[in-house]
């Protein structure tokens, strides 16, 4: 299997899908495989990718750690799915403010009419005001609409309840106890730039994005403090630690992180009433990147930079793929990337059929 994984990754590199990647597999019993391939960039003298190379994991941040922090608060009785958002953020003001619930944030069912990337030239204060005051196109809960704004709001709720910023809270609750020592919202404060894989050469940002958040709105907003939509930098071994905990029903090395009820909600569809698929804080039923030979208990999350984590509770396996797909420039579509992620998933899942 390891040879198959490496061969498929080298084919993707040859096709210029990305210059390098790391692929990891974790089993419920702790057995793991980590396969690094390629280099930081396509240049001939580029640094070689290692098992513990640090990547900007983009929207994986929404699940690890942000939604997980919210679900931890629910587990502890400090937050409820049916709580109104305005109980925590009275500054959230639009005509449907009374109807927006915490469960809408965890299932991406607030129908915003814009993408935050279109507001990248505005200040952090202006972007936050747009998020908190814009009208929704449909009633909360009626339509799945994947948006950075929704998880940014969730992050604000978490901060309001705990009195701590997301980076401090994530470190205390998950990163430190799970020994995720190379995971951070602020990697350049802890690691050398040479340890971090670059993401894109971007005119808007004045050149190479390297060690700074790739996502446009998160980059602007995070100048004040970390936000819920993107910003985590991590490694395959660190993320495998998190998935190992999930595979063991929220417990690892004697420490309890989630109840079984909460872990079940990750892979239980919350949106069957609108013919969509979403767990609480996680994506479900996404064969375009999860493959077609996993089970119904598979949940996961992708990142725009070329990353993905998936977890199959029934088979007891978790998969992490980190790459810098956006280097040197973002592609017009994700067809080749999704084909690669799907193929890797199917190679691994076939082994455990």
CB distance 258 to 70 below 8 Å: no
Name the residue among 226, 224, 239 with its Cα closest to residue 322: 239
Burial classification of residue 275, based on how many CB atoms lie within 10 Å of its CB (0-12 exposed, 13-18 middle, 19 or more buried): exposed
Domain architecture of the chain: domains with CATH: 2-66+167-351 (3.40.710.10), 73-166 (1.20.58)
> Residue 220 belongs to what H/E stretch?
helix 216-221
CA distance 177 to 353: 32
Determine phi and psi for 272, rounding to 5 degrees. -60, -30
Angle between helices 148-162 and 68-75 (to 10 degrees): 40
pLDDT at 219: 95
CA-derived radius of gyration, the chain: 19
pLDDT at 116: 84
Q: Phi-psi category of 291—alpha, beta or left, where left has phi over 0 and alpha has psi -120 to 50? A: left
CA distance 149 to 146: 9
CB distance 190 to 184 below 8 Å: yes
CB distance 231 to 61 below 8 Å: yes
Q: How far are the Cα atoms of 235, 263, 302, 331 from residue 305, in angstroms, in the given order? A: 14, 27, 9, 10
Say how many residues make up the chain.
353
pLDDT at 164: 98
Q: How far is CA 23 from the centre of its chain?
A: 16
Residue with tokens 């299997």: 1
Q: How far are the Cα atoms of 1, 33, 268, 331 from residue 343, in angstroms, in the given order? A: 12, 17, 25, 19
> Residue 255 belongs to what H/E stretch?
strand 255-256
CB distance 102 to 202 below 8 Å: no
**pLDDT in 10s for each residue of the chain, 353 residues:** 999 999 999 999 999 999 999 999 999 999 999 999 999 999 999 999 999 999 999 999 999 999 999 999 999 999 999 999 999 999 999 999 999 999 999 999 999 977 888 888 899 999 999 999 999 999 999 999 999 999 999 999 999 999 999 999 999 999 999 999 999 999 999 999 999 999 999 999 999 999 999 999 999 999 999 999 999 999 999 999 999 999 999 999 999 999 999 999 999 999 999 999 999 999 999 999 999 998 888 999 999 999 999 999 999 999 999 999 999 999 999 999 999 999 999 999 988 87
CA distance 6 to 149: 37
pLDDT at 117: 80
CA distance 11 to 107: 35
Three-class DSSP category at 26: strand
pLDDT at 111: 95
Determine phi and psi for 100, rounding to 5 degrees. -80, 120
CB distance 144 to 108 below 8 Å: yes
What contacts 138, CB < 8 A, 6 or more positions away? Answer: 111
Structure-block tokens of residue 335: 């067809």
What contacts 122, CB < 8 A, 6 or more positions away? Answer: 130, 220
Structure-block tokens of residue 61: 């941040």
Structure-block tokens of residue 5: 């994984």
């Amino acid at each position: 299997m390891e040879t198959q994984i490496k061969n498929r990754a080298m084919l993707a590199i040859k096709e210029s899908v990305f210059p390098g990647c790391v692929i990891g597999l974790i089993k419920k019993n702790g057995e793991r495989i980590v396969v690094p391939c390629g280099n930081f960039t396509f240049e001939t003298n580029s640094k070689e990718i290692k098992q513990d190379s640090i990547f900007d994991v983009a929207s994986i941040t929404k699940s690890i750690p942000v939604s997980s922090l919210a679900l931890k608060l629910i587990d502890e009785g400090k937050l409820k799915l049916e709580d109104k958002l305005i109980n925590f953020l009275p500054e959230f003001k639009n005509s449907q403010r009374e109807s927006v619930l915490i469960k809408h944030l965890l299932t991406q069912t607030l129908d915003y009419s814009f993408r935050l990337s279109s507001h990248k030239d505005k200040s952090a204060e202006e972007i936050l005001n747009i998020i908190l005051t814009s009208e929704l196109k449909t009633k909360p809960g009626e339509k799945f609409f994947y948006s950075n704004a929704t998880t940014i709001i969730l992050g604000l709720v978490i901060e309001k309840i705990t009195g701590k910023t997301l980076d401090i809270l994530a470190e205390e609750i998950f990163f430190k106890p799970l020994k995720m020592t190379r995971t951070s919202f602020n990697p350049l404060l802890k690691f050398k730039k040479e340890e971090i894989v670059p993401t894109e050469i971007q005119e808007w940002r004045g050149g190479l994005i390297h060690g700074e958040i790739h996502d446009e709105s998160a980059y602007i907003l995070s100048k004040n403090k970390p936000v819920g939509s993107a910003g985590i930098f991590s490694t395959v071994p660190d993320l495998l630690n998190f998935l190992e905990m999930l595979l063991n029903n929220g417990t690892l090395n004697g420490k309890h992180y989630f109840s079984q009820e909460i872990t079940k909600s990750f892979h239980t569809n919350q949106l069957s009433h609108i013919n969509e698929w979403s767990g609480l804080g996680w994506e479900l039923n996404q064969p375009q990147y999860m493959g077609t030979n996993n089970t119904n208990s598979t949940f996961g999350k992708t990142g725009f930079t070329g990353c993905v984590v998936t977890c199959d509770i029934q088979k007891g396996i978790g998969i992490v793929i980190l790459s810098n797909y956006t280097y040197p420039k973002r592609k017009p579509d994700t067809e080749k990337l999704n084909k690669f992620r799907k193929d890797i998933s199917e190679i691994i899942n076939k082994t455990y059929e």
